[in-house]
Structure 1
C-alpha cells in the first residue's frame, strides 16, 4: 500500500493529497479510512513514537501498525483533548474544545458528568454534545465533515464507538451526521463487556443490562467472538457493499478497544502470559493486539480488492492511555 498516512496516537491528523491510480471507478477520488483507537497510550505499541524503543514498545506486538508506518508517515508532535467526547466532537466538526465547549464526556441528556467540587465553580459546558440541528440546549450545532463527504458523492460508514451526543438528543445517532451506515454506534462512550458470552451487555431476553451495552451485534452473541473482531467483520461486510456501489467511500473505524473493561481476548492472551505478564497486563496487551489485527484485516481487504493505492488511511487515538504503575498492573481483573 503506497502513501498512506499514519498519525500519532492521540492527535487529530491532517489530510494531504494522495496520488491516485486510474481504475474502473468513474470517480477517481481516494477512499478514506479513519481508524480511531480508544484510550491507547503512545507507548502501547511495538511501533516507537520516539527516537528509540521504550520498555513498553518491547512488550506489545502490533505488526500492522508497523506495516502501516513503513508505507506512510508518522506525526509525533501534536496534542489531543484529554478525554473522549471533546476529541470526537472536534473530529466531527473541525472546532476545538474551546469553541464547541464539550469539555467532558457526554452520556445522559441534560446531565453533566463533572465531579462536584467545593473549590471550583464548574463551567456550564455543552454536556449534550454536538447536534446537526437547532433545538437542544447545551449543544454545539454544526454540519459534520462526513455530511460534506456524503453530499459530494462519498459512501459513508460508521463502525464502533460514536460518543459525541447524549441519549435522546440528535447527536446520539451517527446517521444524523452524514453516515449512511451505522454499525454499533450510539451515545455511550464505553462498553459493558467485550465478551459475546455476555452478549456484549444484554440479558437472556435481549435487554441491555446497562447504558454501555453495545447495540446491533446480536448475530455474534454466544459465538465466542470478541467485540473487536465482531466490529471488524461487520466493517469488512460494509466495505464489500461499498465496493459494489462504484463510488469512493469513507469508513470511520472507531474501535471501543482498548477502553475498559480490560477483558481477555483469548486469541492473544496466553502469548502474553507466557511472557511473564500479570493477568491484567496480559489482558490489556491482548486488547491492543486484537485492535492491531483489525487494522491488518482492513489493509488486507484493500489490497485484495485493488483499493490499496487509492485509499488514505489515518490512524489516531482519541486521548492518552492508562496509568501503568505497579498498582494498575496487579489490580485484579
Structure 2
C-alpha cells in the first residue's frame, strides 16, 4: 500500500477507468427501480447480544474450527445456505450500545457521540484509566426525534415491532423506550443492556437470582405473566416474536420486526434442556453452549413461522451480532481465547472484539441470492441501515442528521458482480473509554481497516500496531516497523476519518488536553 495507490482509489481521471464504476451505479439504479415496483418486503432483524464470530457451527472463517464443532446452530447454517454470508463483517464498536444505535441510525458512534454503553443519563459508565480521561460523550444515548430505521419504516406504512434487548438510551430517557424511537410495539426492551436472569422462576430479575428480594434496574420488563414459571427468557421472547409475526394474518401492513434476544449476554445461565449435549465441557462453557443453541432454536422458530405463513418469499431476514464474543470475565477456562483464531474478545480493539457473524437472506424477487454466497468484502452492521431501506425502496430523508456513514450492501447482495467495481473503503472504530475488564486490546483506542491492512491507535502513549489480516488474522505480528510507508499512509487516513466523523480523542489525565493525533504521530516518524 502506498500514497499513489490511495490517490488512485479516490479519483480516476479517465473515462475508461471510471466506466466500471458507472456501470455498477447504473445497475444499482435499475435494481432500485425494480424494487420500487414490487410489493414492499417484510423485514426481520435478528440481533444477537455478544455473539462471537466463532460462537456458531457455521464457519465464517476459511476453516472449520474447534469452536465451530463445539456449538450447534443448524438454523443459522440453514439461513446461510440460502443467503449471503459476509465473512468480514464488523460491529461498529466492541461494546453494545454504540453498535445498536449505529444500526438504528446508520451513523458511526464517533459521529453521534454514543461511544460507550449507556445506563444512567447523569453517570459515566466508563472505568477509570490511570493516565487518560475519556472525552465528553452522549451519556443519554438516542433520543426521541433522532432519525431511526424503525421510524422510517413506520412512516413508509410498516408495522414496526421490537422484542428483547433495546439498550438504545439511558434509564428514564426517551431513548430507553423503543416506542419513542419508531417502534409501534415494544416487548421487554428498556434502558439496561443485560437481563437480571434468564429464568422465569426468578421473574427474570437480578435479586431473585441471588436469593434476595426487591427490584433491580436489570429486571426485564413487561413479562409478568411468565413470572414464577419454569421458562427460559430466550424461548419466551421467541414466543412473543412468533406471535407478532402471526399478526400479519390480520394486519395487511408489511412488518419490520427487530428481535434482539438478551442472549448470549451475561449472566451465563444454562438452558437445562440442552445440557446433555455438552457434558464433556466445563460447567460454565456448557452453560454458554446451551445459550447459543437456545438462541439458534429461536431463529429456527422464526424461519418456520415464515414458512408456515407462506411469507418466506416476501421477507428479508438478517442475522447479526452487536460485538465480538465475551472472552474476559464470566467465561470458563483460559480468558481471551474463546474467539480463536481471532485475538481477544468483547471490549477489545482486536478482531475478536469487533468481527461478527452477518447473514442476509431474502426473496429472489428482490434480486437476492437463493444459494449460499460468501462475500469477503469488509462491511459494518451500520451498513444495514441504508441496505434495508434500499430493499424496501424507502428514501433516506435529505435532512437526515447526523450523516449516514453506512453504505448500502445492495450491490453485494444481488447476483451481478458489481461489487468489484466499487472502490475499497476504510472502516473505522473509535472507543475512547476503558472497559471494565482487562485483557489484550481492552483500552481506549481508535482503529482503521483498509483492504487487508489494519491500524490500531491506542490512546495510551499513543502506541501504534499494524497488521496484515490476510496473512495474520490473529494479529500476532506487529508490522509497524517493517512497513513505515503503510503505517504513515494509514495514520493520515485515520486522521482524516477522525475529522470526518468528529471523533474526540482521549484526554491526558494530567494536562487535560487531547492526546497526540494520528497526523502528528505520522509527522514524527523517521523518513
Greater C-alpha Rg: 2
Which residue of 259, 263, 279 maps to 2:265?
Answer: 259
- 1:118 aligns with 130
- 1:72 aligns with 83
Greater shift in the superposed pair: 218-227 or 181-190: 218-227
Which residue of 298, 318, 333 maps to 1:326?
Answer: 333
The reply to whether residue 46 of structure 1 matches residue 57 of structure 2 is yes
Distance 1:202 1:281 in 2: 21
Measured after TM superposition, the shift of residue 271 of structure 1 is: 1.5
- 1:297 aligns with 301
Measured after TM superposition, the shift of residue 326 of structure 1 is: 2.3
Distance 1:203 1:278 in 2: 26
Distance 2:181 2:149 in 1: 8
Which residue of 57, 60, 63 maps to 2:68?
Answer: 57
Measured after TM superposition, the shift of residue 101 of structure 1 is: 1.1
Distance 2:125 2:90 in 1: 23
Measured after TM superposition, the shift of residue 78 of structure 1 is: 3.0
Tell me the TM-score normalized by structure 2. Answer: 0.54
- 2:40 aligns with 29
The 3-state SS of whatever aligns with 1:315 is strand
Measured after TM superposition, the shift of residue 121 of structure 1 is: 2.2
Distance 1:35 1:109 in 2: 27
Preserved contact between residue 282 and residue 332 of structure 2 (Cα < 8 Å): no
The reply to whether residue 212 of structure 1 matches residue 218 of structure 2 is yes
Which residue of 223, 226, 234 maps to 1:228?
Answer: 234
The 3-state SS of whatever aligns with 1:147 is helix
- 2:466 aligns with none
Measured after TM superposition, the shift of residue 208 of structure 1 is: 5.7
Q: Which runs of 4+ in 1 moved over 4 A?
A: none
Preserved contact between residue 42 and residue 256 of structure 2 (Cα < 8 Å): yes
The reply to whether residue 195 of structure 1 matches residue 199 of structure 2 is yes
Residues matched between the structures, number: 297
Preserved contact between residue 196 and residue 207 of structure 2 (Cα < 8 Å): no
The reply to whether residue 177 of structure 1 matches residue 188 of structure 2 is no
The reply to whether residue 92 of structure 1 matches residue 96 of structure 2 is no
Deviation digits for residues 207-263 of structure 1 (CA, Å, limit 9, x no counterpart): 863111001111112221100000010111111223311111000001100000000
Quick one: structure 1 residues 325 and 266, their matched pair in 2 at CA, closer, same or farther if it must change by over 3 Å?
closer
Distance 1:58 1:234 in 2: 30
Greater shift in the superposed pair: 207-216 or 63-72: 207-216
Structure 2 alignment gaps of length 5 or more: 1-30, 337-527
Measured after TM superposition, the shift of residue 203 of structure 1 is: 7.1
Which residue of 172, 183, 190 maps to 1:186?
Answer: 190
The reply to whether residue 161 of structure 1 matches residue 160 of structure 2 is no
Bigger RCO (CA 8 Å, 6+ sep): 1
Preserved contact between residue 155 and residue 242 of structure 1 (Cα < 8 Å): no
Distance 1:240 1:326 in 2: 42
The 3-state SS of whatever aligns with 1:256 is coil
Distance 2:133 2:140 in 1: 19
Tell me the TM-score normalized by structure 1. Answer: 0.85
Distance 1:50 1:203 in 2: 40
Distance 2:59 2:218 in 1: 33
Preserved contact between residue 132 and residue 144 of structure 1 (Cα < 8 Å): no
Distance 1:143 1:219 in 2: 33
The 3-state SS of whatever aligns with 1:234 is helix
Distance 2:289 2:141 in 1: 32
- 2:277 aligns with 271
The 3-state SS of whatever aligns with 1:43 is coil
- 2:458 aligns with none
Distance 1:104 1:203 in 2: 26
Which residue of 140, 144, 155 maps to 2:148?
Answer: 144
Quick one: structure 1 residues 208 and 162, their matched pair in 2 at CA, closer, same or farther if it must change by over 3 Å?
farther
Structure 1 alignment gaps of length 5 or more: 1-15, 134-141
Distance 2:84 2:200 in 1: 36
Deviation digits for residues 99-118 of structure 1 (CA, Å, limit 9, x no counterpart): 01111110112111011223
Measured after TM superposition, the shift of residue 155 of structure 1 is: 0.4
